[in-house]
Structure 1
Amino acid sequence: MTDRREAIERLVAKLEAQFFEREFYPVLEEEFSAMLAKRRMSLESGQRPEGRVLAIIGGSGSGKTTASDRLVAPYLQAAQHSIEDASMSVIQFNSPNKATGKDVAIEAIAALGYPASPTRSEGSLRTLLRSHLTQRGTLVVHIDEAQDLVRFQTQNERERVVKLLKSLMVDKIGCVLISCWSAFVLPEMANIPLWSQ
């Protein structure tokens, strides 16, 4: 590789690593912070209102993952994943391809820092996930590439994934943050309260 080409590649890599705030980001950041604050106040007062979905939707390469990563980064950095009893107000993971309710539970449990055997039943994994979310004090679950939650599954499997997310939002978490390239994920979650700008 020539020196010039190498310099160009370095510059491109440096630019790609930058976050260029777009006009929507301050609104997203404010809404996200308000949702977290509201959830914390509700929990402190003994209430458990149903959680909400916050969706970041845009085309491939539009900055969805970068924006959502930046949004949750302060909360992830605050968590000490190596300490068993650490609080984790936010967890994040990529949606598994052809996601099933069981796959989503396994990914979420792993994001919380715990092992989960794929030989366990979906019901026992859901119970384990709810327990670990409580132990970690988790308020937000961020799922990137969320279109894979509904894209390749049967109707029955899509309903099971949505049922899992809804069951968590009833009393465990305040927000499911999803990043996806298509709004077609949202009709599948039609009965989940959504935030929109």
Structure 2
Amino acid sequence: MKMRARCCLIALLIILNWAQQAPATEDVPGVGSLPPEVLKLLQDLNRQYGPDTVTLVSWLLDAATHSGSVLTASVRVTGNEAREDGTFLVFQIETGLIFNTRVFDQSGRLTVLWSKILAQAFAHLDTLQIPADGVMIDLLYHHKAFAETDDLSEHVDEPGSVEEAKFYFPGDPLRAFLGKKLSSPALLARTQVFINDTPVPYGAIRTETANGSH
């Protein structure tokens, strides 16, 4: 499962390199073995949303596959969502995570999503230029009560209920965070977070520092 996710990541990094270095009319170097439909999807993603979007997709996938996921991880861009405060480019992540609710409550689950996936992916960017006013990252994962000593990989056939966490990051605060001009708590204070479409109060996500560093 994770091998497929890593193959997708390699393909995304190849298309990013092509997008930054090669004219649009040239073939993508070194990807002749990729299935044509995969190559077309990656090229379309770059053309429609730009290379920064491809970069973010690749690092979100990398972070998800290294977050402790036991199911297949995947990332896709689903387009823009219009809200009263602007338009948000939507990234949907199947995280592959299964949370043991005896170990992680809702706040704990959100903290893992922030620290293991979102913050890890953002650490590889220093800016983000996208055709929208902000970014919405939609994370899907499973949660269920297991014995605390259980190996979660043994529960892939019955992983529990799906929970959905949505993070709405306005563009300017996110770019300030990426440029290390805004701390994690300050960014999250400007971010709307929802669990299954129910608003989450600020402070539910624990960050490592509150003094201006990430």
TM-score, normalization: structure 2? Answer: 0.26
- Considering Cα pairs closer than 8 Å and 6+ residues apart, tell me whether 1 or 2 has the greater RCO: 1
Structure number with the higher strand fraction is: 2
